[in-house]
Amino acid sequence: MSANGLAPLSQAHSEDLIPWVIEARDEIAGGDQSPIAVSRPGPLFRVSVAPEGRAMPPYSVGDLLEWHGETGERREFSIASVPGGRALDLIVRRVELPVGGMGAASWALTADNAPHRINARIRAYPNYHEAAGHGPLLAVAAGSGWGGVRAHILRAMQQGRPVWLIYGERGPSDDLSLFTEMRRWQAEGGIKRLDLALSRSADQQAPKYAQDVVARNAASIADFLGEGGTITICGATAMGDGVHGALEAALPAGWIETARASERWRSATFLKAARVSLPLRRRTRPRKTPTGEEQDTDRGF
């Protein structure tokens, strides 16, 4: 995972591998329905996990949960909740493989027939910790990148800071549960502005990607951030690069460099890689919650 020139992943504050209990697996957005060649992004899940028989290990906003499989696989997932709770939330995009299979981490965290226990540890990720400053927060994410920015938004809402969320997904018909939380936070005043980019929307005039929203609202974004605002970005590398370019055009010269130097810029992006080597797991029908409620990669961001 890239963090735009900041320090690499740190083992500082990491806990030893411990057992965790999966308390909930809720599908919150639909997946790609196109034929599977090598792999495809399946539904998006919110997964809640709690340490088994012990207190929650310490962690910070922006840290990761590192899942360990039975045969040595490891996947990292952004912790989508803030410290203080008895469980952690993860946003996981299921990776679907041919013949009804799925990626190893996808199966362990999202499949109905998977055990309700996993082995994992918290891994510190200081280059994506809470940004410095107390100004307004612009959060930009797409897909499972929601797991990365969600904790930053929750912290900013706790502090009473204005939040503007720009988020990209596939389409509204599949993603009502995911958007319900965002819209509730907006209705409650926690999010000042919410813009959605739906790549498969039938509205040809609507922005398709998060970077399109940034480009269309350049002047408003510059006004919102002012001189002391903060930015957090999470999603695939192509999205991150597009957002970075749009923000460079929107903001005054030197703004991003100054924000980086003062730790008001946080960006974590990941590559979408082929998963032909991932172990196959037999897929079952996903469980739906009463409300209708792994990432674009099995890496889990």
Residue ranges covered by each domain of the chain = 131-270
Residue 121: CB partners within 8 Å, gap ≥ 6?
A: 14, 15, 16, 17, 18, 57, 65, 66, 68
pLDDT, residue 295, reads 35
pLDDT tens digit at each of 301 positions of the chain: 444 433 444 453 444 899 999 999 999 988 888 888 888 889 999 999 999 999 999 999 999 999 999 999 999 999 999 999 999 999 999 999 988 889 999 999 999 999 999 999 999 999 999 999 999 999 999 999 999 999 999 999 999 999 999 999 877 655 568 899 999 999 999 999 999 998 766 566 667 889 999 999 999 999 999 999 999 999 999 999 999 999 999 999 999 999 999 999 999 998 764 333 233 343 333 332 222 223 333 334 3
- pLDDT (0 to 100) of residue 173: 52
Structure pTM? 0.85
pLDDT at 170: 78
Residue 277's pLDDT is 29
Could you say which of 3.40.50.1820, 3.40.50.1970, 3.40.630.10, 3.40.50.80 is the CATH number of the domain covering 131-270? 3.40.50.80
pLDDT at 106: 93
pLDDT of residue 204: 63
Cα angle for residues 72, 78, 82 (degrees, 5° grid): 130
